[in-house]
Structure formats: structure tokens, C-alpha cells
Structure 1
């Protein structure tokens, strides 16, 4: 079957090739409605498909953004991706999503693959393990934005939650409800993931500010597979914590599994608050108190910022913090 060309469309619509090109690139502010209708009808009747590769070579743009998430299992990741995709779609950009599994080597391979595909920019939830690569991209003035995390010594714009405040809101609510022995579990800080470190710092600062005991046995940063055993050891102590803060949604899931397996009553036996407002929080029995992130707004701002950088503009601060919100329900 003969490939339909832009010239065929132009002849079928009785217009010039340049007019068809303007139509395809949505530069038709001064184009008459009847002309647009003829071109649209010609494209439909001929089954014309624009050559995206040829267009990207000509424009030196693939209209594509790479998004590398640290762990796609997080509800936060999928919610933010949706916001990025929505905003990029409005600007006729596509996204390619990659999951690094919090593995610096995997992240490095994805960055190199996306660069080989000539994506116009990158939004990365950085593992923190590729500092020299981040710096090379920065030095080359390549459009890049960090999301959810920042990396010390790398001056790439970052969009983050006020993580210390997120923990502080949770601890303050525990205290308000009368709890004194308060614990926290977060995923591993072995890679110096700033988000997790800040949440632990906010937890400790709020306990100190309220002159409450800070028991190191109640504060754990672990691999997900280690959480069940740690909970067993923590809760079988003579004086176990009365309340637990889950540092993210994956930790919350592990705590809820443990609670169910050991017939622990919430909040009678153990009060729980989770950072990240998971979709089932309101449906769980009892409904779960959470600290929510403005995920959609954060994803939208990441998309806005990367598109500005692709255009050679940067009208936002290097660090953009978003406010967390405590959603009071029945688990505390």
C-alpha cells in the first residue's frame, strides 16, 4: 500500500503543503474554518499518519519526557505520574515511565536509555546514587527536575513535601489524643534518601519539643521485608509503643498486615497514622488517620517546570516545598 504523504493531503484538500504543516503543528490562528475542515477531512479520508520521527528530527525535539520513579509501588508515585501525564498531554508532550526500584544501577541504565532516545527532559525521583551523572547533566544544561527528593551537593530544582512537618503533624495528633509511647517505622535510609531522613528528624524534634521520651527501639528504618519481624520485637516489649507512625504507604501496609495477623485492635491496642493518604484509608475499618501530600499539585508543578526548562526558561525556585495535611479519622 502506498504511503500517504503530506503532499497527498495538500492536493486532496486543495491547499499548499505549508498550510497542511501549519495545521498539523496547530499553528492555525489565522486559518479559515473551511480550510481547517478540508484538511481534517482529507487526513481522515486518506488515512494520513504524520511521520513523528521525521518531524522530531526536523524540529530537534521528540516531544517526550522521561520520568524515572524510585519505586512505582508507592501510591504517591502513581498519583504523581497521572498529574505529570495530564499536564504534558495538554502541551502535546508524551511521557516514558521507568521504575528504578531504588536501585542506583538501574536508575543509571534508565537515564542512559532515555538520553539515547533523545527525550527532551527528565523528571527523576532520585536514588541519590548517581551524583556524578546528575552533575554531568546539570553541567550540560540538560532539562532535569527532581521530584519527592533532593540530592545534597547537586543543584537541580526539586519539588518536595515539607517532610519534617508531615511527621510533626502526626506526632502532635498522637500527643493530643493522649499517647506518650510513640514509635515510627520508615523504609531504609541506607541510601541517605532525604525524604525518609527528614521524616525521622521531624518525628524526633516533635517528641523533644513536647518533652516526651524518645526510645530508639521504637524508631526503625528498615527494608520492607524486615518490617514484620521488627514489629514483633517492638510490640512484645514490656512497655511497647502505644502509637505508631508509618513513614510511607508501604510501611503502613506492613503494619496493617501485622495487626490483622495478630488480632491487634486499632486504636485500642495500637494507634496508627500513615504518611500518604492511601486510597483505602477511608474504607478501612477503622478508617485510617493519614498525613496527605498534595500529589496532583506536586506532579503538575514538576511537569510545568520541566516544560519551562525545555523552552530555556526557569521561573521557579530551586526548592519548592508543599504543605502536608492531617486527615483525622478513627485509627488514632
Structure 2
């Protein structure tokens, strides 16, 4: 396909205006431009199929109309859903999106952020890892537009959007109790990197045990790397008093649990109850269908974009804060005790 070599001079000549007037039109400076002039320029651009030099334009305006999104781990279903909402909302507002996956590695996260800044993105939406506090502090100090999603970073004053994780666990435990389960364990991925949702969900489990006056057993709390999780699950079921039900802290720990029960012929609903955090695509078609605690992923993504775009308005300066969204429970048969009816 041949490259279109139409220039701004060609458009100006075709529309019978000056080059500076065409430039003002492209940069949306219409204050002193007659409607008839605007229509002639717009018609000339369409007829000549003129493509403005957006790179040169962005350098002049000091804007690239691009937002960088850095996700801690794109394998999580929740992350994928939120990113989709972010991309949709930014597109509605004429922003392009560059998405980077940090694989839960602070060094990789730092590299991506520096690369995005080098490309002059107008702002960042980040699912932060536990590292890079210094980098984020420098962005905060320079008033660079940034919003955190799913996790906050201690000692930083940055707008953050995330789930009410403690409430999510309370919902799960209460539902299992109402269905006749009392010995309830929790299974999450490792706490080694101090990932906020995992820490809060473990704390939520502890407070739920207290709230519902259940004994807190430390051997019912499993926070493990995925590589050793099945072994940890095996130890749970080898206890003298194994749990009657499991709360899975996220979709990755759920996958390990489902592998274990499949390999050991443990029947969900009959042998063990299950509630998992995060609605996943196969929850409704699994046998049995899985009870989930759903996050409002699209609302969270849209709120993150709203907060970021708000920062571009020089007339609006609100104090950054943490916004928590309520979870909801989607009841299916995995949490139904054998012989009971929901």
C-alpha cells in the first residue's frame, strides 16, 4: 500500500486557508474560527485522506494521548477483566493504551514504567508489586498522574481502587456456615511479596473466625507458592480433623485445588465444600458449578480511568484516597452440603 504523502500545505491549499489555520483546526483550537472555515478544512482533510503527524503533534502539545497500564500478573481472570474495562473507557475518551505484564517481578515492573515514561505516556494505571516504592514516590512528588488498582502501596498518597477484601472473606465464611460447614480452611498463593489482597484476605479469614465464634486453627491457613500448593492441600486433608470446606483466595489457588481433588477423587459438595474469590469463566459449567465471590471488575476499571482523567483537569484537585468496592456472592452447588438444599 503506498504511503500517503499529503501534507498540511496541500490541505491548506485545497481548503483555501493558511497552514496555521489548518494547524489550529488539527489541534482543536476553534475559538476564533468560523464554522464555514472549519467545514472547508474538514472536507479537505477527508477528500485528500490527510493523516496528521500525531508524533509531532504530541511533542508540541506535550501529550501523546496514551496511558500506560502495568499489571502485576495478567494470568488472573480479574486482572484481564479490569484491563478490558480500562481499555474500553480510555478508548471512549480518545486515549490509546499500552499494557505491560510485570509477572509479579518488581524489576520488570520498574523497567516497564521507565519505558512508558520514556514514551511520554500521559498517565499510568498500575497494579503494583510490593517493590519500587521509591519510583512511585518520585512520581507522586512530581504530580505525575497515576492510579493504583487492586493494591495500594504503603506511605504513598495515590488514588487506589480495590475490593473490600475482608468483606469478601466474611461473605464466603458466612455462606459456608449457613450451609452447615464449620471447619473452614483458607487457601491462597504465597504472602512472601506482601501482596495486599492476599494479606487482607488472610486477615479477613481471621476476623471472620472471631466474628462467627469459630476456633482459629493456624493449620487451616495455607499461603503457598503454586509449585508446592498441592502438597500443602494434601497435608490439610491428612490432618486428624481435616476441613469440611475451603475458601480459595484467588483463581490460581483454585486451579491447584481443582487439580488436587481431581487426582485424589475428592468430590466437591459431597466430601468438601468450596467457595472461591473471583468469578471465573468456567465457574458455571464446572461439575459441580462453583460458588464464587465476584469482584465488580468493570466498575473497578472504569473508576480507575475516571480518577486518572480527573487528574488532567487543572481545575480539579481532590485529595487522593482509597476506594473500596463491595463483593457479591454467586451461589452455586460447590458450597451445598451433601443432602442439603439451598
- TM bin, normalised by shorter chain, reads over 0.9
**Counterpart in 1 of 2:103?**
101
Conserved 8 A contact 2:4-2:50: no
How far apart are 1:228 and its partner, in Å?
1.3
Q: Secondary structure at the match of 1:280?
A: coil
Conserved 8 A contact 2:289-2:334: yes
Q: 1:43 aligns with which of 25, 42, 45?
A: 45
**Counterpart in 1 of 2:14?**
12
Alignment of 1:139-158 (within 5 A): 139-158=141-160
Alignment of 1:70-109 (within 5 A): 70-109=72-111
**Counterpart in 1 of 2:334?**
331
* Residues 37-66 of structure 1 deviation map (CA, whole Å, 9 limit, x = unaligned): 654553344332211110001001111111
- Relative distance call for 1:4 and 1:258 in structure 2 (3 A) is same
How far apart are 1:22 and its partner, in Å?
4.9
Alignment of 1:150-189 (within 5 A): 150-189=152-191
**Counterpart in 2 of 1:205?**
207
How far apart are 1:212 and its partner, in Å?
1.2
TM value normalised by structure 2: 0.90
- Relative distance call for 1:328 and 1:2 in structure 2 (3 A) is closer
Alpha-carbon distance between aligned partners in 1 of 2:239 and 2:76, rounded to the nearest angstrom = 30
- Relative distance call for 1:251 and 1:314 in structure 2 (3 A) is farther
How far apart are 1:10 and its partner, in Å?
2.7
Alignment of 1:265-304 (within 5 A): 265-304=267-306
Q: Structure 1 unaligned runs (5+)?
A: none
Tell me whether 1:254 sits opposite 2:248 in the alignment. Answer: no
**Counterpart in 2 of 1:55?**
57
**Counterpart in 2 of 1:318?**
321
How far apart are 1:4 and its partner, in Å?
1.4
* Residues 247-298 of structure 1 deviation map (CA, whole Å, 9 limit, x = unaligned): 0111112111222222221111111111111121112121111111111111
TM value normalised by structure 1: 0.93
How far apart are 1:21 and its partner, in Å?
3.8
Alpha-carbon distance between aligned partners in 1 of 2:214 and 2:249, rounded to the nearest angstrom = 19
Q: 1:238 aligns with which of 232, 237, 240?
A: 240
What is the root-mean-square deviation of aligned Cα atoms in Å?
A: 2.1
Q: Structure 2 unaligned runs (5+)?
A: 336-342
Q: Secondary structure at the match of 1:185?
A: strand
**Runs of 4 or more off by more than 4 Å in structure 1?**
25-41
* Residues 173-215 of structure 1 deviation map (CA, whole Å, 9 limit, x = unaligned): 0111110110111111111112111111111111122121222
How far apart are 1:330 and its partner, in Å?
1.0
Alpha-carbon distance between aligned partners in 2 of 1:30 and 1:291, rounded to the nearest angstrom = 55
Alpha-carbon distance between aligned partners in 1 of 2:28 and 2:332, rounded to the nearest angstrom = 48
